[in-house]
Amino acid sequence: MLSHKDSWFLVLKDKGKTGVGECSIIEGLSPETPAQVEAALPQISTEIDLGLDVLYQKYAHMPAIQFALEMAFGGLQSEDPFVFFDTPFVKGQNPLVINGLVWMGASHFMQAQIEEKLALGYDCIKLKIGALDFDLECSLLSEMRKRFDKSSLQIRVDANGAFLPEEALEKLERLAQFDIHSIEQPIAVDQWEAMAHLCAVSPVPIALDEELIGRHSDEDKRALLKAVRPQYLILKPSLIGGWKGANHWVELAEEYSIGWWATSALESNVGLNAIAQWCADKQVTMPQGLGTGQLFTNNFESPLYLTGNLLGYDPDKDWKFKF
């Protein structure tokens, strides 16, 4: 289990205003390495007068850097460095519905998490699968379904590419017995033919996640969606080029009649806030994957709050972030 994660913060100051952007990466998943980030940020400090558009293009292959730049420049353009979109959400209204995330681990550990989420009132739970014996994972899902039918509890699963192509359909057919809403990335990336076949015949709708990382051009993104035809996309701004990258995927998803939702990628409350506000601006209705901020022992105090399965923003509460 991940017990440590680095983030870097880009702070811009101009004419009495401040902007703060978080560069958050997950080693082994993000295109950037820590060394690349630590080399890029000092360089950016000498190039900041080039402006957001030029810098965004220059760092096209470093999506977490792009997102940090968007946040920092966005803060400079706002009366509040942490408010980017004028929505009811930042005025303390219309909190976002989120899913409850259950991490992989021993069965008793996962069961305890499930019970905790259910007790808090979550009606959408996402389970990471693929680390345990598959029979054991199915047993956990079966017990959940005995207590809650699909009308009262939505179950999402995320395999993180753990299934082999030759076994995936059989496993998806077993998962379908439990009225699973969707499965993220059942097989590993860059197996388009196999993934396309699964998306066409799977009884469980398939969402692409890791498959989106590293795809920068419109041509490349369209090629993926045309070839694979998934039912859903999972959008993680720190991994796909921030708001701009996510907006492009949303446009394509709508064009190809593909559903989507956003998920945080272990950002601190700074990055989580930026993603939540973008979701609110999109007027999303599906549960979003935005509950990871509570995992940290040293997170920043912020106006964000969790009440059951709702992520809200309290405009009367201050950020505890030293500029």
Which residue out of 171, 221, 236, 282 is catalytically annotated?
236
Q: Which two tokens stand for residue 117?
A: 């989420």
Cα 88 from chain centre: 22
Q: How many CA atoms lie within 13 A of 82 on its CB side?
A: 26
Which residue out of 126, 128, 221, 282 is catalytically annotated?
128
Is 128 a known active-site residue? yes
Is 322 a known active-site residue? no
Helices marked H in the chain — which ranges?
34-47, 52-58, 63-76, 107-120, 134-147, 165-176, 192-201, 218-228, 237-240, 242-255, 269-281
For 99, residues 6+ apart whose C-beta sits below 8 A from its C-beta are: 122, 124, 125, 126, 154, 156, 287, 288, 289, 291, 309
Q: What is the torsion angle, in degrees rounded to the nearest 10, for the CA atoms of residue 31, residue 34, residue 36 and residue 41?
A: 110
DSSP string, 169-190: HHHHHHHHTTT--EEE-SB-SS
Give the 3-state secondary structure of residue 101.
strand
CA–CA distance, 9 with 282 (Å, rounded to integer): 25
Quick one: which of 233, 149, 229 has its CA closest to 193? 229
Residue type, 94: N
How many CB atoms within 10 Å of residue 27? 12
Q: Which residues belong to the active site?
A: 128, 236
